[in-house]
Amino acid sequence: MRLESAKMTWKSEFMIEIKPITADDRAVWTPLWRAYLNYYETTLSDAIYESSFHRLVDPRTSSYYGFLAWDGADAVGLVHYIFHMHGWKIEPVTYLQDLYTVPNARGKGVGRALIEEVYAAADAEGAPTVYWMTQDFNAAGRRLYDKVGDLTPFIKYQRPNP
């Protein structure tokens, strides 16, 4: 399911417009995603950037999506999310994988608008459970997350690199 754009007005100087990421957005998406990954001290190969963007805009992809937040002609944030099956639920769930707001737009409702748009997409898809992770040092993000979500007691583990 590919979603249409939505307009949201928040109590700030921004008129934030949330739009699905399209093939025409590559030039604004790349620096936003690079900045997000830099925040988490992560670098990825150009092949991963290419693959990720292609999957976001490919209409045949049925589980990986993204939105950009716009303040007029300026892209000021992004979010990526994934629908997937869950062994504990009948309906699919939604993983909010990446969320980023440019520094000068933080605290002005952009992150909240992006999360709320993912909530709406999840509801429309019949996948109302939305979850995400962040690192413990992300104090600014966690202040927002405490307002829009419930902190769970889970700790993440992953397979060591082979």
**Does position 70 have pLDDT exceeding 70, yes or no?**
yes
Q: Which residue has the higher pLDDT, 11 or 38?
A: 38
Strand 64-71's sheet: what is its strand order?
6-9, 15-20, 64-71, 74-84, 93-101, 130-131
Domain ranges in the chain are: 6-148
Q: What pLDDT sits at residue 14? A: 62
Least Cα distance to 2 among 21, 17, 18, 29 occurs for 21
CATH code, residues 6-148: 3.40.630.30
What pLDDT is recorded for position 162?
83
pLDDT of res. 13: 56
Contacts of 52 (CB under 8 A, 6+ apart): 33, 80
- Whether the pLDDT of residue 141 is over 50: the answer is yes
**Both structure tokens of 35:** 């900045």
- Read off the pLDDT of residues 88-119 as tens digits, 9 standing for 90 and up: 999 999 999 999 999 999 999 999 999 999 99
